[in-house]
Amino acid sequence: MAPRNSLLPSFLYDGVGGGGGGAPAVVAGAPSEPPFGMIELFSPAYYSACAFGGAAACGLTHAAVTPLDVIKCNIQIDPTKYKSTTSAFGVVMREQGARGFYRGWAPTFLGYSAQGAFKYGLYEVFKKEYADMAGPEYAARYKTLIYLAGSAPPPGGAAGYARGLSDGFPKIVRNESYAGLFRGLVPLWGRQIPYTMMKFATYENIVEMAYKHLIPTPKEQCSKPLQLGVSFGSGYIAGVFCAAVSHPADNLVSFLNNSKGATVGDAVKNLGLWGLFTRGLPLRILMIGTLTGTQWVIYDSFKVMVGLPTTGGAPAPAAIPIGELAELKASA
């Protein structure tokens, strides 16, 4: 049941309200004594926890898959030299050694930690705000639109072409001035915005379908390991959709960041339409699927650790008339 003092339908969050009449808006179904005390839903502490969990989820996972990202970018930029995933690994190892696989891990970690904090934190903020604006009936009817709208604010990102952060920053400024730091920003948003919208909306719907059709036990009665398993599986599937939708823009970003003075038209001419949609796609599906599934596990694990429920999966309730809603609030 949704908290009595919120219009947010319970399908957007699980296990709140404690099941009794007029229970306060605190999390139920989580550990009895979380390490930081009980966190009230939609409070500053709640959104701070979501932001911190998002930072950990994105920063750690993107830094961990830096080798795959290095190989993917090399294939996208120079397919003649890096003909396949296997040969690309061999070329990097011969020419740069093991360190070559982790080139750029520092800006990747810092950039994606900041991105994750804003991405997850703001998603929780806007998801609630839009649901409250719509009211319980329309929020339940158009839940996917709420997921999409809540995840739409443009995220940041970082891409480099040097040995690391300390080398890359002055190199960009020296060669291209400070404007060079924003080269490829529009294609980057063209990649990240649809990616993020697909990431959250698809995940939320897959989790809901999993608990509705695949798992006979209500979510609140499932063990935490099972819930986190659902988080990973749903996140992996969502990641496959993310990779497919955002891949053309990802190829554009890689081309523009590695070709000084190039335009989008140059990228399309060089890559071709087929290459724009398919070059490096299999490896990116593997990388993004694993990445997204692991991010959701880390994010939901952190929420469980601090006494919050895992994301998504509760059924949509029947719409509550305004009069009844006012009575429920008065009795709370």
What is the per-residue pLDDT across 239-270, written as a single tens digit (0 to 9) for each? 999 999 988 888 887 787 777 777 778 888 88
Query: pLDDT category, 296, cuts 50, 70, 90?
Result: very high
Q: With contact defined as beta carbons under 8 Å apart, do 309 and 18 qualify?
A: no
- Entry pTM: 0.70
Nearest to 65 by CA among 296, 244, 284: 284
Residue 268: which residues within 8 A CB-CB, separation 6 or more? 276
pLDDT exceeds 50 at position 23 = no
Question: In which residue are the tokens 């880390």 written?
Answer: 298
Of the candidates 72, 79, 92, 74, the one whose C-alpha atom is nearest the C-alpha of residue 270 is 79
User: Please, which pLDDT band fits residue 147 given cuts at 50, 70 and 90?
Assistant: very high
pLDDT of amino acid 171: 53
Beta bridge partner(s), residue 131: none
d(CA 75, CA 86): 11
pLDDT digits (tens, 9 = 90+) for 190-201: 677 888 899 999
Residues in CB range of 303: below 8 A, 6 or more apart: 49, 50, 53, 309, 310, 311
Residue 205 predicted with pLDDT over 90? yes
Across the range 217-222, mean pLDDT stands at: 88
3-state SS assignment for residue 16: strand
pLDDT at 320: 40
